[in-house]
Amino acid sequence: MPDSLQMLINALVLLTATFLFLWASRRKRREREPPLENGWIPYIGLANQFRKDPLKFLISLQEKHGDVFTVCIAGRYFTFIMDPTQFQYVIRNGKKLDFHEFSNEMASRTFNYPRLTESKFPQLQDGMSKIYKIMQGKSLDKLSDSMMINLQRVFKWKFSQATDWRTENMYQFCCSIMFEASFMTLYGRDPVADGRNVISEMREKFTKFDAKFPYLVVNVPIALLGDTKTIREQLIHFFMPNKMDARRDLSDVIQARKDILENYDVLQDYDKAAHHFAFLWASVGNTIPATFWAMYYLVRNPEALAAVRDEIDHLLQSTGQKSRSDCDIHITREQLDSLVLLGSAINESLRLCSASMNIRVVQEDFQMELEDDQTVSLRKGDFVALYPPALHKDPEVFEDPETYKFDRFVEDGKEKTTFFKKDRRLKTFLMPFGSGSSKCPGRFFAVNEIKQFLAVLLVHMDMEIAENKFLSLDNSRVGLGILLPDSDIKFRFRHRGSDSS
């Protein structure tokens, strides 16, 4: 027999033996553990089926196994809890089901800073979490006021170009305005550099990095992602301590993060800058697509747009401000809260487009108690996962779930918070911002920003879609937050009140 044939046979025997070994040593379901789906490819498990269409895949397993089941996905075991009436049991078990272990590992790898272990950086994680209070309650007023000023500054420049109908790509439009206004609000300004040019340069790099973000999260080596490593380094360098020291009007939240990072001599300058970059990603990575979808659905639905605009016009009139004028408008945080139709329209677009998976790492083998004296055995090191789109698209909770209904979250002129599953009122019915200990600390600021963006836009601009197509969701960042559209779309806009002939 020729040597090459013998080598081929040996390789095949070895491959088959490895496959059989892995097959035989696959996980076996233990007593009281949820139904288990290993898939037939060892290690990979059902990763491909999940990636293709997670919602369809999970619902098919729910039909087969019920509301709790475990799936092998790329070497990890995920126990999915599908029934939203049971979510509270996961949320309450913060100690045994830890969020930070997962997020810390993922964030440090993606944004290139050392893991925040308690032994090396005592109290840092805790200190950072405490700072997030500055983005909530009364403290949010200052941040929101500053955002309104910056938004109108950026918008004014845009509007000055729109005396007659002007056509632009809608995603691009939202991205440039929200990136610049959010960046100025959080990170202030560099008194020397030409602000607009630096921010445009940063935005372009950010967009490139963001496109590769889903790959970094699932651990694809950065060396395989073209120039992503260089772009990430360039982005991090924008935030080096000497550059941060030179900036003026830093927001309180960034100043507090800067101060706390300065206390840790074990952090290199580059590491501190990487933390600031990570926060930049958190603050705009989801807000930009969320703003886009809120705007897209309103412009697509003229009835919704008219109703929301009416609500804003009415507020401005009642506070003695003129809509349709070139003057800046001022809307306080409380007034933003009172815009229930606008809030509902934003919630509705978040319902349709958010797909962040809530993941917890099981800290020890234990029996998790669920409703009606049910218990489920969980193994240390496994993931427990909630997948909000299954709730957001559940026809029992949201009638006609695929349809955009801008006033779905309004009842008797107030915010609607009563949604039911199995005749039980749900505590948690909308989860774009995560849950429990991992709930987004920037959620109030984020919703305010989107409201402010839409208020300024609707007060000053007439708009219409300029392309005959409907957008779908691009699933490449499923599990990670707000999904992007599968393409951009052209729209026309001009100053409201310009000749309406």
Residues of the binding site: 109, 286, 440
Comparison of 343 and 432: residue with beta carbon closer to ligand HEM = 432
Estimate the share of the chain in helix, then strand, then coil, as percent rounded to the nearest 5. Answer: 50, 15, 35
Those residues with Cβ within 8 angstroms of residue 128's Cβ, 6 or more apart along the chain or in another chain? 257, 260
Stretch that binds ligand HEM, among 13-21, 60-68, 233-241, 437-445 (CB under 6 A): 437-445
Binding mask 76-105 for ligand HEM (x = CB under 6 A): ---------------------------x--
State the Cα–Cα distance between residues 390 and 387, nearest whole angstrom. Answer: 6
Least Å distance, CB 118 to ligand HEM, is 15
d(CA 302, CA 323): 19
Residue 188 in the binding site for ligand HEM (CB under 6 A): no
CA dist 105 and 168 (Å) reads 39
Nearer to ligand HEM, 33 or 180 (CB): 180
Residues marked as binding for substrate? Answer: 109, 286
Angle of CA points 461, 465, 471, to nearest 5°: 130
Shortest Å distance, C-beta 183 to ligand HEM: 11
The residue sitting closest to ligand HEM, measured at its beta carbon, is 442
The answer to whether the CB of 340 falls within 8 A of the CB of 403 is no
For ligand HEM, the closer of residues 274 and 316 by Cβ is 274
Using CB under 6 A as the binding rule, the residues of this chain from 341 to 400 that contact ligand HEM are: 354, 356, 358
For ligand HEM, the closer CB: 99 or 406: 99
Helix, strand, or coil (residue 284): helix
3-state SS class at 63? helix
Using an 8 Å Cβ cutoff, are 432 and 290 in contact? yes
Q: According to CB under 6 A, which one of 108, 287, 347, 448 is a site residue for ligand HEM? A: 287
Query: Which residues lie across from 97 on neighbouring strands?
Result: 362
Of 59-67, 145-153, 241-249, 276-284: span binding ligand HEM (CB under 6 A): 276-284
Burial of 391 (0-12, 13-18, 19+ CB in 10 A): buried
Alpha helices (H) along 218-339: 228-237, 241-246, 252-262, 269-284, 287-300, 302-318, 333-338
Nearer to ligand HEM, 162 or 282 (CB): 282
Largest CA distance in the chain: 95
Looking at 49-57, 145-153, 429-437, 464-472, which segment touches ligand HEM (CB under 6 A)? 429-437
CB of 358 closer than 8 Å to CB of 431: yes
Residue 476 sits at the vertex; the CA angle it makes with 450 and 73, to the nearest 5 degrees, is 120
Query: Residue 481 has what DSSP assignment?
Result: S
Q: Considering the rule CB under 6 A, would residue 36 count as an interface residue with ligand HEM?
A: no
Task: Give whichever of 141 and 326 is closer to ligand HEM, judged by the CB atom.
Answer: 141
Interface with ligand HEM by CB under 6 A: which range of 38-46, 146-154, 215-223, 277-285? 277-285
Q: Contact between 62 and ligand HEM (CB under 6 A)? A: no
Which residues does the annotation place in the binding site for heme? 440
Q: Smaller CB distance to ligand HEM: residue 121 or 159?
A: 121
Q: Which of 360, 366, 368, 385 is nearest to 94 (CA)?
A: 360
Place of tokens 């029996």: 367
- Binding region for ligand HEM (CB under 6 A) out of 72-80, 286-294, 314-322, 397-405: 286-294
Q: Any bridge partners for residue 492, and if so which? A: 167, 464
Residue positions counted in the chain: 501
CB of 72 to ligand HEM, least distance (A): 21
3-state secondary structure of 120: coil
**CB of 102: closest distance to ligand HEM in angstroms?**
7
Taking Cα atoms as reference points, which of 444, 488, 464 lies closest to residue 147?
444
Q: Nearest approach, Cβ of 438 to ligand HEM (angstroms)?
A: 4
CB of 354 to ligand HEM, least distance (A): 6
Residue 432 binds ligand HEM (CB under 6 A): yes
Q: Provide the binding-site residues for ligand HEM, judged by CB under 6 A.
A: 103, 279, 282-283, 286-287, 290, 354, 356, 358, 432-434, 438, 440-442, 445-446, 481-482
